[in-house]
Amino acid sequence: MEEDVLLEGFLKEKGVDEGLVDLISEVASLAVPIRKEFPHRTGKAGTKNKYGEEQVALDVWVNDFLTKKLLDTGAVKTVVSEELPEPVHSKDKTGKYTVSLDPLDGSSNVKSNNMFGTIVGVYKKDLPGKGRDQVAAFYKLYGPSTTIVLTTGDGVHEFVKARKGHSNFILLREDVEFPEPKIYGVGGNPDKWIPEFEVFVRLLRDRGLKLRYGGSFVGDFNQVLHHGGFFGYPALMGKPKGKLRLVFEGCPMAFIAKEAGGSSSCGSKSLLDIEARDIDERVPIYIGNEDLIESLEEIFEACKEAREYY
């Protein structure tokens, strides 16, 4: 029987910077205490975040817990989060890394016990900026198993929570790549999709792709990564920037997609090439197999009036 490859040892073997190893390992180690809170924090927090959205109690707790633990590593100088009104800095503002954090993506799924997770982007530069400035991106998915999918710019690798040990994640799959497309997931009210996106979705159906949508970006992207296909939360009529945030959701997943042989787009260019003007900037998100993203951009290019949505 082959010996298990542990997350921390894998990263060190790859030559990943020690501070970055500490950062990733710390988030991994918190899987057990976070999961223990699930049954006790399923209700509303009684507060709203900076976007005016009602907060789930678990979302608030996970945000505060992760933020403190990240800053305590000494490797992180700044944390920006969907659930924080302002960036939070380490006391002495030292540390190499700035971290973008979606602490509980899909928090509306907590009550129904469907998939949700944490999305993390890591930069050596201050934010806002470009997604191509990321030095690492990963997500932790709370499903039947707890898994971490990550890239440090050297392919995409998946780890699963081991049977023993609070912080032990073992290598499940190395060099994960998108397989031939089989599924798609799309958000937003179809009655309000922009017309060119309706055309693209018909193309997906004509190619035989099956709809699979679970209401959390992290869960839906994970399915597309493993089965091949497309995820999109499009520009909408009257809401041209869609719903998802570029820095907190779009850029980390776009980096992972690129390293897995896929691609991303806002409709005209890669999410990684957008210069964010604001931490909270929203953007249409299209992500998945490279050939599907190319087809989408060709359709959008043919619809010149679509330019107003980017």
Mean pLDDT in runs of 10 for the chain (310 residues)? 87 96 95 84 73 80 94 95 92 91 83 85 95 98 94 98 79 98 96 94 98 93 98 93 96 99 96 95 98 96 63
Q: How high is the pLDDT of residue 98?
A: 97
- Residue 304's pLDDT is 66
Dig out the tokens for 300 from the structure. Answer: 């959008």
Domain-embedded: residue 1: no
Domain boundary among 173, 206, 223: 173
Is residue 181 within 8 A of residue 209, CB to CB? The reply is yes
Q: Clarify whether residues 25 and 126 are in a common domain.
A: yes
Strand, coil or helix: what is 61?
A: helix
233: how many CB neighbours lie within 10 A of its CB? 22
Of 132, 153, 173, which residue constitutes the final position of a domain?
173
Residue 130: closest CA among 27, 248, 306, 271: 271
Q: What is the pLDDT of residue 129?
A: 93
DSSP 162-178: -SS-TT-EEEEESS---
Distance CA 184, CA 288 (A): 9
Q: Considering 127, 145, 173, which residue would you say is the last residue of a domain?
A: 173
Residue 2 lies in a domain: no
Q: What is the pTM of this model?
A: 0.94
Look up the domain containing 94 and give its range.
7-173
Residues 98 and 117 in one domain: yes
How far is the CA of 245 from the CAs of 35, 156, 277, in angstroms? 25, 22, 12
Bridge-based pairing state of the strands 134-142 and 116-123: antiparallel
In this structure, what CATH number is given to the domain that contains residue 250?
Answer: 3.40.190.80
Q: What domain count does the chain have? A: 2
Over residues 169-227, the pLDDT tens digits come to 999 999 999 999 999 999 999 999 999 999 999 999 999 999 999 889 999 999 999 99
Task: Cite the DSSP H helix spans in the chain.
Answer: 7-13, 18-29, 31-37, 57-72, 195-206, 217-227, 251-259, 290-302
13 & 159 share domain? yes
Pair (159, 220) in one structural domain: no
Whether 128 is covered by a domain: the verdict is yes
